[in-house]
Each structure stands twice: as C-alpha cells, then as structure tokens.
Amino acid sequence: MMAFICCAEGEPAIKTDEATDIRWTKIDDIENIIEDCPETIFPMDILPLKKYIRYSSNYRTEH
C-alpha cells in the first residue's frame, strides 16, 4: 500500500486516472468504513489502515 497521510487544507486533485471518488477523509470515518463496508476498500489496504488507526489512536491518547 502506498499512502500519504497528512494534515492538509484545500481540495484534492480529482482529474487523475489513478483512483476514483478521491476525497479527504477523517480517520474516524475510515475506521467506520472498514468496520461497516470493508468491501469498498482494496483488500491489501485494510490491514495497513487498521495498523495506522491503532497507532493514531495511541498517539491521540498520549498527547
């Protein structure tokens, strides 16, 4: 999985042929998508996203 996770402002580039339905998404929303409809996410991306969610949850708890 190649991902770029950051805090950003503005609109994502939508005129590409690399992906569809491009948008900024809050990590809590991604967690809900993984739980409620994982079939909408590329299967190889689910485990890395879950790992990042655990990491970010621990980070937010500590800071």
State the pLDDT confidence band at 63, using cuts at 50, 70 and 90: low
The CA distance from 21 to 10, in Å, is 16
Query: Which parts of the chain are beta strand (E)?
Result: none
Tell me the residue type at 33.
I
User: Regarding predicted confidence, which is higher, 63 or 36?
Assistant: 36
State the pLDDT confidence band at 3, using cuts at 50, 70 and 90: low
Q: Is the pLDDT of residue 7 over 80?
A: no
Render pLDDT for 17-54 as a digit per residue (tens, 0 to 9). 766 777 788 889 999 999 999 998 889 889 999 999 99
The total number of residues written for the chain in this structure: 63
Q: Print burial letters for 19-42: b (CB count within 10 Å at least 16), e (below 16).
A: eeeeeeeeeeebbebbeeeeeeee
